[in-house]
Amino acid sequence: MLGPSADRRRPLALTPGEDLVGFIASYLGRAVLFLITATSVLAVLLILLFVILRSTPFLREFGVREFLTSRVWRPTADEPVFGALTLIVGSLYVSIAALLFAVPVGILAAVFLSDIVSWKIRNVAKPVVEILAAIPSVAYGFFAVLVLAPWMQRRFGFSTGTNALNASMILAVMALPTIISVAEDAISALGRELREASYSLGATRLETMVKVVIPAAHSGIIAAVVLGMMRAIGETMVVWMASGNATQIPHPWWDLSQSIRTMTATIAGEMGEAPEGMAHRSALFAVGVVLLLMTFVLNIVSEYFLSRAKKATGKS
């Protein structure tokens, strides 16, 4: 079918001379595809650019040092002070606390879905996780303020129910679907051989999981944790409603029952009211830049571990 034997060494593709139309179409198609891709990538880059550009007036006027080291956030005073330290600490604080709740539960749930139950039960349990991801953040916010906060005040005698604990619990729930699905992928991608080897050596399921599977899947699990953290750091409305928004760093540091304030909440809460063109508004964008940098770093970390996970599974 391929013609005379003399051409056998030639590549299969036709040369431009033989199929001009196809050649042009292919390149034209490529160009169109590239344009479309460029549009979406451009949109993404535009946003990043937008945030950075809008923050420059503030950074030029006030400088970075006070912004990153001062604990005082007083944007509407006659002599405004923009110290974002409390906000940065607050964001990290609730996100890490949320991970403390979410990671153990998430990994256990991932193990449950991948290794313990039958396909049928898994098909029932998985939608629970997906529904948790589908609930709009407004609903979580309502729950935090109207149900969880009064309950914590009654149950634990906290002076305030909208606090770091409340916010991190809700964030944990919101980060869980991400953590579970990525961790489950990582754990089940390891394949049967590893597990079977472990079982055949007489290890129990616990030992197989803790000593063999989870260490082998650690890159994927770390990536899951980082992705969960990104979700927690970027969440806005819920934290704004649940965290109490006091501009303080908890003292003592482990006291979760105190109100704190995050970067996202500050942006969401103040952006609508901040007058256009004043330092306050561009200071909020500067907070956005810090947020971007943070997610960027987390991104690199997760990318690194995910690619390691891929390499690991690729080898085995």
Token pair for 85: 């330290």
Q: How far is the CB of 5 from other proteins (least distance, A)?
A: 19
Closest separation in Å from C-beta 115 to other proteins? 8
Of the candidates 15, 20, 39, 311, which one interacts with other proteins according to CB under 8 A?
Answer: 39
Query: Per CB under 8 A, does 304 bind other proteins?
Result: no
User: Contacts for 148-153 with beta carbons within 8 Å, 24 or more apart?
Assistant: 148/242, 149/242
Binding residues for other proteins, rule CB under 8 A, total: 117
Per-residue 3-state assignment (H helix, E strand, C coil) for 134-161: HCCHHHHHHHHHHHHHHHHHHHHCCCCC
Distance of CA 85 to the CA centre of its chain: 21
Q: Of 194 and 292, which has the nearer Cβ to other proteins?
A: 292
244 counts as binding other proteins under rule CB under 8 A:
yes
Minimum CB–partner distance for residue 26 and other proteins (Å):
7
Residue 137 binds other proteins, judged by CB under 8 A: yes
Q: Kindly identify the residues of this chain, within the stretch 183-202, that bind other proteins according to CB under 8 A.
A: none
Residue 314 makes contact with other proteins by CB under 8 A = no
Structure tokens at 53: 């550009």
Q: In the bound complex, what is the minimum distance in angstroms from residue 219's beta carbon to other proteins? A: 16
8 A C-beta contact, residue 173 and residue 140? yes
Binding residue for other proteins, selected from 205, 218, 312, 313, defined by CB under 8 A:
205
Residue 98 lies near other proteins (rule: CB under 8 A)? no
100 near other proteins, judged by CB under 8 A: no
Which parts of 58-87 interact with other proteins (CB under 8 A)?
71-72, 74-78, 86
Here the contacts of 71-77 (C-beta below 8 Å, separation 24 or greater) are 71/247, 71/249, 72/247, 73/247, 73/261, 73/266, 75/270, 75/274, 75/279, 75/280, 75/283, 76/280
Strand ranges (E), 44-132 = 73-74, 81-82
Judge whether 225 and 179 are in contact, CB under 8 Å: yes
Shortest CB 286 distance to other proteins, Å: 12
**Does 29 engage in binding with other proteins (CB under 8 A)?**
yes
Considering only residues 271 to 300 of the shown chain, the ones binding other proteins according to CB under 8 A are 271-278, 280-281, 285, 288, 291-292, 294-296, 298-300
**Binder to other proteins among 15, 16, 24, 36 (CB under 8 A)?**
36
Structure tokens, 56: 């420059």
Near other proteins in 150-179, by CB under 8 A: 150, 153, 159-162, 173, 176
Pair 187, 213: CB distance under 8 Å: yes
